[in-house]
């Protein structure tokens, strides 16, 4: 796995965990919001599996606009920083 892919998975894992905790959601509730199984959610939150484009799109639809901006900034500065310098 490429370093940028690993960094992307870690960034998204962290974001879904933070969002879940901030909103007092259980893992099961978060899985429902992302329309995935609880097991898939658990694996994604723990960084044990990657994210489908569909899951990332659903995440973007539930995040507040300011958190989407933060996520995109983090993608540019932490994941693909070499591509934007």
Domain locations along the chain: 3-80
What tokens appear for 27 in the block? 């893992």
Residue 27 C-beta-side C-alpha neighbours within 13 Å? 11
In this prediction the pTM is: 0.82
Q: Is the pLDDT of residue 48 over 60?
A: yes
**How far is CA 68 from its chain centroid?**
11
Q: Is the pLDDT of residue 3 over 70?
A: yes
- Evaluate whether the domain defined by 3-80 bears CATH number 1.10.260.40: yes
CB 27 within 8 A of CB 38: yes
Q: Is the pLDDT of residue 84 over 60?
A: no
């Amino acid at each position: 796995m490429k370093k940028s892919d690993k960094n992307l998975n870690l960034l998204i894992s962290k974001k879904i965990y933070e969002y879940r905790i901030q909103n007092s959601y259980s893992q099961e509730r978060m899985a429902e919001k992302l329309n995935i199984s609880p097991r898939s959610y658990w694996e994604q939150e723990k960084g044990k599996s990657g994210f489908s484009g569909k899951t990332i799109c659903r995440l973007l639809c539930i995040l507040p606009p300011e958190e989407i901006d933060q996520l995109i900034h983090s993608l540019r500065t932490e994941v693909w920083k070499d591509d934007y310098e």
